[in-house]
């Protein structure tokens, strides 16, 4: 029997990155788009880890499948860590990536380059339904330090990629290829560790 692993994200851009980061595992990776429609759970946790676990637990229970979910966002020092866990809806419910980037660039307009430090954080959570009494739960985190650019540059990636310049680079994530971004990104780092855990788990199944 093939082992299935569900990617529990309603964000197609994120799900595409996760599919690529989890390629090569000895299991069939499927996304929410391959299954019946389900409303996303309310993300009411106060940390990335809380929300990642909340999503993985919800989708795993709903579909009866092992599930990985990711909660991620951008934390800007000059804004005391905002938008943080509210990154997806920083400019309001239903806003676009462009709305978020515009609001962020406006908020940082008074700040000089060295004051525009920020980091992306990604929490990856894996939850497998209970075979005996308890479900299997595993969490990993990845971060990448950088700066918020003075304006948006580049067309690749998604979300805040056009305004995020990782430390040591002179281009934004949106000016990199997907492979270049994965090598240093918060998601690449969290899912490198998660993939190592999953390789062991699926090798043992
Ligand atoms: P799911 O909860 O269904 O996975 P979501 O987009 O709501 O989808 P989050 O709650 O984790 O996911 O919000 C993450 C937001 O943070 C995302 O919408 C982007 O705005 C931003 N973000 C996260 N990772 C990013 C990345 O690699 N590049 C750019 N922006 C990113």
Domain ranges of the chain: 4-201
Residue 19's H or E segment, with its range, is: helix 12-21
For a substitution probing ligand 1, which of 8, 10, 11 has the most ligand atoms within 8 Å of its CB?
Answer: 11
| CA-closest residue to ligand 1 atom 13 | 88
71 is catalytic: yes
| Torsion angles phi and psi, residue 72, rounded to 5 | -145, 170
Alpha carbon separation from 174 to 148, 159, 170 (Å, rounded): 12, 9, 12
* Percent of the chain predicted with pLDDT > 70: 96
Rounded to the nearest integer, the mean pLDDT of the chain is 94
Residue 132 has what pLDDT? 59
88 pocket-lining for ligand 1 (C-beta < 6 Å): yes
159 pocket-lining for ligand 1 (C-beta < 6 Å): yes
- Give the lowest-confidence range in 11-20, 28-37, 86-95, 103-112: 28-37
Band of residue 73 on the pLDDT scale cut at 50, 70, 90: very high
Residue 130 has what pLDDT? 79
Do the beta carbons of residue 47 and residue 85 sit within 8 Å? yes
157 pocket-lining for ligand 1 (C-beta < 6 Å): yes
**Strands of the chain, DSSP E:** 4-7, 28-31, 67-76, 117-128, 136-148, 164-166
For a substitution probing ligand 1, which of 33, 160, 177, 190 has the most ligand atoms within 8 Å of its CB?
Answer: 160
Residue 181: which residues within 8 A CB-CB, separation 6 or more? 156, 157, 161, 173, 188
Is the pLDDT assigned to residue 1 strictly greater than 60? no
Write out pLDDT tens, residues 123-161. 999 999 877 566 789 999 999 999 999 999 999 999 999
Write out pLDDT tens, residues 24-58. 898 999 999 988 889 999 999 999 999 999 999 99
Do the beta carbons of residue 193 and residue 140 sit within 8 Å? yes
Per-residue pLDDT, averaged over 70-86, amounts to: 98
Secondary structure (3-state) at 38 = coil
Secondary structure (3-state) at 120 = strand
Instruction: Compute the distance between CA of residue 139 and CA of residue 95 in angstroms, rounded to an integer.
Output: 29
Class of domain 4-201: alpha beta
Band of residue 204 on the pLDDT scale cut at 50, 70, 90: low
The two three-digit tokens of residue 180, written as one number: 């270049």
| CA-closest residue to ligand 1 atom 11 | 71
Task: Kindly name the residue from 71, 77, 99, 132 that is annotated as catalytic.
Answer: 71
Residue 2 has what pLDDT? 66
Residue 57 has what pLDDT? 96
The two three-digit tokens of residue 189, written as one number: 């780092």
Q: How many of the other CB atoms lie within 10 Å of CB of 103?
A: 15
């Amino acid at each position: 029997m093939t082992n299935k692993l569900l990617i529990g994200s309603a964000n197609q851009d994120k799900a595409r990155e996760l599919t690529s980061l989890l390629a090569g595992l000895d299991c069939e990776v499927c996304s929410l788009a391959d299954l019946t429609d389900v409303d996303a759970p309310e993300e009411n946790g106060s940390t990335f880890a809380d929300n990642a676990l909340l999503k993985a637990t919800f989708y795993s229970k709903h579909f009866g499948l092992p599930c990985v979910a990711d909660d991620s966002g951008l934390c800007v020092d000059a804004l005391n860590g905002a938008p943080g866990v509210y990154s997806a809806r920083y400019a309001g419910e239903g806003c676009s990536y462009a709305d978020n980037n515009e609001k962020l660039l406006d908020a940082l307009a008074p700040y000089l380059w060295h004051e525009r430090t920020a980091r992306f954080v990604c929490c990856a959570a894996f939850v497998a339904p209970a075979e005996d009494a308890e479900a299997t739960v595993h969490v990993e985190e990845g971060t990448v330090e950088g700066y918020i650019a003075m304006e948006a540059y580049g067309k690749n990636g998604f979300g805040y990629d056009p305004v995020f310049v990782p430390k040591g680079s002179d281009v934004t994530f949106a000016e990199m290829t997907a492979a270049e971004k994965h090598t240093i990104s918060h998601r690449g780092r969290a899912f490198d560790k998660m993939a190592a855990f999953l390789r062991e788990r699926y090798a043992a199944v």
